[in-house]
Amino acid sequence: MDMAILRIQNDYSWLVTNNDSIKNLLWTSLRFRERNYFHNRAYKQKIWDGYTEFFKREPGKFLTGLLPEVCMALDRRGVRYQIVDERQPLDFRFDAVDDQFLNKWLPKTWTNGEQASPVTLHDYQVDLINQVIKNKRGVIYAPTASGKTYIMVGILKALPPGTPTLVLQNRISLAKQNYEEITNWGFPYCGMLGGGCNNPNIITCSTIQSIGKIKRLLPKIRCLIVDEIHDMMTVKTKAAYRMLKECCVRVALSATPFKFGETDRVQKYFVKGFFGPPLKTHATFDGKITTKELQARDILAKSRCFFYPITEPAIPFDIYMDAVTHGIAESYHFHQVVSRLAKRLQGRTLILVERLAHGDALYGMIPGALWVQGKDDADTRQEVIKKLQRAKGNVVAIATQGIFNTGINVFIHNLINAAGGQAEHQIEQRIGRGLRQADDKEMLNYYDFIFDINPYLLEHSRKRMRILGNGGHNVSVREIDF
């Protein structure tokens, strides 16, 4: 039998073989139809079959993160192969870390100004940092508020000094948050791109929107860390990843990295292709960290989820977008329910809305409420975030759901989901906003609604209840008594 050769580079790899059978197997096994492919114009015109191929049959080319799948196929078919690794090696400063690792560089204060106390990493954080040191790439799959910032800082501290590193994210608020955390941990050469900043450095925190400013530097990057990877699989981000020819350390972080699970295997395999498989931890039986597990260990706040019925206006024949407009965004009855609920709650409350008209209406009905939307600059958003982190007494903030869905650290007592929705990753990210513990907080109260006014809205309401219940949250239905 002929010997196959696997040529491995940082971005792509190649299977060199005359064995057409194994190439056909990989081609058929690693091609998937795009989500909603049947709406695509090229598919309707019959010039595209809807498939994305992750293994190119003739050249034998595939994204390097899919190497485990290719090797598994070769092993199962009994195909002998030789690996030719053409990557320039990068050795970490440490072979492994322990739970006291970060205390070598403990800052005097945290970014919120409080006195810093020693950090003892959780077992899963130690595991995941060590997995990155060992494998040099992978997906860190951990719930919101599980301490991904410590994992990121631990990886950066384990790298050799002077390693060109890119920390990439989708929003300027998240880029600024990561930049402040990294500089606070004593990294001397850290820069930022986005939000008016243009100072790249050895470590650069950048939004994807600003990545073009350092296009010529991308081939020199040796370490890539992508925060909230589920939002970072656009055409532009994939083009940027392909330019990182010398980047051998690749890490993606998210509570929901595979945005739509098995219903969107194209997104899933692009994540795995660019970054590798999800990294496992020995802290749990199946290697995954869940919200339920962290709540049981008192790492995340407990949660209660209350759903209230909305029974008007009756719009049974509205198509979905009209139902959102008439039943949620422009429904005076719904505005009244949400505003009455918000006024009776104690502590820091965040209301998420889908459309500006909805936020404008609630802002006018809730005296003293804060209202943050897409047009607001980073400083305005930061002021609202600070109030949701530290304010004493009652505070109500209204925000469009896109701003607070991911990556923002707040310490709220109450979360009102007035934006509806049905996507699992979206619902998990939303409730995750409120699961961080605080000195004045033991429980997150999550409030949502059963829209029994339209078939689409009702099905989405029931789906949110199932998602939260499956996530280990205590879900109950209550009558409106306020």
CATH number of the domain to which 59 belongs? 3.30.780.20
Q: Are 139 and 77 in the same domain?
A: no
Asked if residue 91 belongs to a domain, the reply is: no
Q: Are 174 and 79 in the same domain?
A: no
What tokens does 475 get? Answer: 């879900």
Q: Are 286 and 307 in the same domain?
A: no
Whose tokens are 């301490």? That residue is: 147
Read off the pLDDT of residues 340-360 as tens digits, 9 standing for 90 and up: 999 999 999 999 998 999 999
Asked if residue 118 belongs to a domain, the reply is: yes
Domain-ending residue, one of 237, 260, 291? 291
Cα(449)–Cα(462) distance, integer angstroms: 9
pLDDT at position 225 over 70? yes
Average pLDDT over residues 323-328: 96
Q: Are 217 and 168 in the same domain?
A: yes
Instruction: State the Cα torsion 92-173-127-162 to the nearest 10°.
Output: 10
pLDDT at position 55 over 70? yes
Q: Are 45 and 115 in the same domain?
A: no
Q: What is the pTM of this model?
A: 0.89
Q: Are 285 and 305 in the same domain?
A: no
E-state strands within 354-413 = 370-372, 395-400
Please report which confidence band the pLDDT of residue 406 belongs to, taking 50, 70 and 90 as the band edges: low
Nearest to 309 by CA among 414, 452, 418: 452
Q: Are 110 and 179 in the same domain?
A: yes
pLDDT at position 25 over 90? yes
Cα(45)–Cα(40) distance, integer angstroms: 9
Q: Are 406 and 270 in the same domain?
A: no
* Beta strands across the sheet bearing 61-63: 55-56, 61-63, 12-16, 4-8, 81-85
Average pLDDT over residues 43-52: 93
Identify the pLDDT of residue 434: 85
Q: Are 333 and 286 in the same domain?
A: no
By residue range, what is the domain housing residue 273? 101-291
Read off the pLDDT of residues 79-120 as tens digits, 9 standing for 90 and up: 999 999 999 999 999 999 999 999 999 999 988 788 999 999
Average pLDDT over residues 438-444: 87
Read off the pLDDT of residues 74-86 as tens digits, 9 standing for 90 and up: 999 999 999 999 9
Q: Are 166 and 283 in the same domain?
A: yes
Domain-ending residue, one of 55, 85, 115? 85
pLDDT at position 405 over 60? no
Q: Are 55 and 178 in the same domain?
A: no
Please report which confidence band the pLDDT of residue 407 belongs to, taking 50, 70 and 90 as the band edges: low
Q: Are 50 and 25 in the same domain?
A: yes
Identify the pLDDT of residue 408: 65
CA angle 72, 75, 81 (to 5 degrees): 105
E-state strands within 75-187 = 81-85, 137-141, 165-169
